[in-house]
Structure 1
């Protein structure tokens, strides 16, 4: 296999994974989730991070009942519910979606049917409706029944849970969740810890908005804050600082090539991120895809 063949293959794999995350539950069921295990990490104060396949899940438990942030893929719902029951025998009260992608909302229908109230930004409900109508798979149980435009606050399980909608970053429906009493923040896919991020330009995402959101969150947390990223291991402030520094560097490099008159394929051929790819390009988004995403975001193409 040549180097070019490998790059094409890697790009196709990433694209396929991204498309799976966007598909409704019926299409996701074609994947084999039988060997996926849900792991639970305690963050203290009744807060947990759950990992399986798809986006990281946040969980608050207490006297009021489980409060869940994101719910991964539909076929994992039973496993996720079982993991939650280990921490609380009460029914899930709320499921808050950080955005609309299927690896964060696939379990909505199962949780909704079980009595949970689905909460999300206004744009998430609209995008779920549009996506699922195209697949003839609309289920009222999977749709948010509570939506917000800018922010809202839950006073739940002796926690103040503040939900804030940033300017378009990963998508146009992102939610950042601060569990203030526990000093925990869930950033959804506005933070990929340890790799290049996936910025969904087709869903209103923006590199500049992504960086702007990172900087705003950094101004709201301290060195003791525990950060649940959309993907990757549990993080702290220093991890977010490293990521935003990398993104600013990437933006500067590609903007300078745009300013020099180079178009997308020429910039890809120039390989401006070659020295960063070893550290940042081994995950969901490889170096070439990152270059193309940043070019399209900065150029408006």
Structure 2
């Protein structure tokens, strides 16, 4: 039943983004240089990380399949070298949609074990070319383009297969969807995500970085440690508020309808098209009530 709910929910997500795309101007892939060889690409879907070097390119996430030509054109302005590796930070289609296109060009796909499991068991069936060919459990080191990239799994955060990547030489962190900068996060409970796991994931990442670290969030503009710390304080604040309501015996609908729980962040504009304040209150209730 949970698998069915998860699939239906993801379809709703994808259709929401598709409808949004039809109502907005043509997608433009924008490039932002973060260090000598690490870049952030934005377009539609999860933010992309790109690490270029003398011999190859390493890529993090790939948005939607229809955007692959534009993404490749943007990368070609950075380097004419081939893309050697792609890592998926988790299994959602706005981060893995281009997998098949890139794999057909010889790109090797890497992901956490649970990403492979969820993609391989999804309905409709994921093309075999779109599946990772290298998976890992807890952590992974990638030595490429003068970078010793630390890749680490965080348990039951946004999903059960989240990976974060830290480039110590460039001092750049890619959080995947464990950070929605200045937005309410999507915590996919049906894919193993949880409020407590999400909070622990952010704490784990904050240990690695300093005030000069540039952070590529899963969604939103380029971030820094101060913003990530504020994001953590928001999560902890909402957790405290919702737990207080649960202890008073409030129902899910009562919590979902109580705008005072999220007022501080509603006033800051954290609601967005897919995760509004009512939905984030409902998500916190469901996760913390378990």
> What are structure 1's unaligned runs of at least 5 residues?
1-15
Q: Given the alignment of the two structures, is residue 294 of structure 1 paired with residue 284 of structure 2, yes or no?
A: yes
* Residue among 267, 280, 284 paired with 1:278: 267
* Residue among 4, 7, 11 paired with 1:19: 11
Instruction: Please state how far the C-alpha of 1:263 moved relative to its aligned partner.
Output: 1.1
8 Å CA contact 1:20, 1:28 repeated in 2: no
Q: Aligned in 2, Cα 1:295/1:282: closer, same or farther, shift over 3 Å?
A: same
Mapped to 1, the partners of 2:94 and 2:9 lie a distance apart of 10
8 Å CA contact 2:55, 2:82 repeated in 1: no
* Residue among 124, 127, 131 paired with 1:143: 131
Q: Given the alignment of the two structures, is residue 70 of structure 1 paired with residue 61 of structure 2, yes or no?
A: yes
Mapped to 1, the partners of 2:240 and 2:204 lie a distance apart of 20
Q: Aligned in 2, Cα 1:197/1:29: closer, same or farther, shift over 3 Å?
A: closer
Q: Given the alignment of the two structures, is residue 84 of structure 1 paired with residue 75 of structure 2, yes or no?
A: yes
8 Å CA contact 1:70, 1:95 repeated in 2: yes
Mapped to 1, the partners of 2:143 and 2:25 lie a distance apart of 36
TM-score (structure 1 length as normaliser):
0.88
The within-5 A match list for 1:260-275 is 260-271=248-259, 272-275=261-264
Aligned-CA RMSD value: 2.2
8 Å CA contact 1:69, 1:97 repeated in 2: yes
Q: Aligned in 2, Cα 1:123/1:222: closer, same or farther, shift over 3 Å?
A: same
Aligned pair count reads 280
The within-5 A match list for 1:46-195 is 46-131=37-122, 134-135=123-124, 137-195=125-183
Aligned to 1:201: 189
Report Cα offsets for 1:95-129 as digits up to 9, x if no partner: 10000000000000000000000000010011111
Q: Given the alignment of the two structures, is residue 256 of structure 1 paired with residue 244 of structure 2, yes or no?
A: yes
Report Cα offsets for 1:75-105 as digits up to 9, x if no partner: 0000001111111111110010000000000
> What are structure 2's unaligned runs of at least 5 residues?
1-7
Q: What secondary structure, in the 3-state scheme, does the structure 1 residue paired with 2:162 have?
A: coil
8 Å CA contact 1:129, 1:138 repeated in 2: yes
TM-score (structure 2 length as normaliser):
0.91
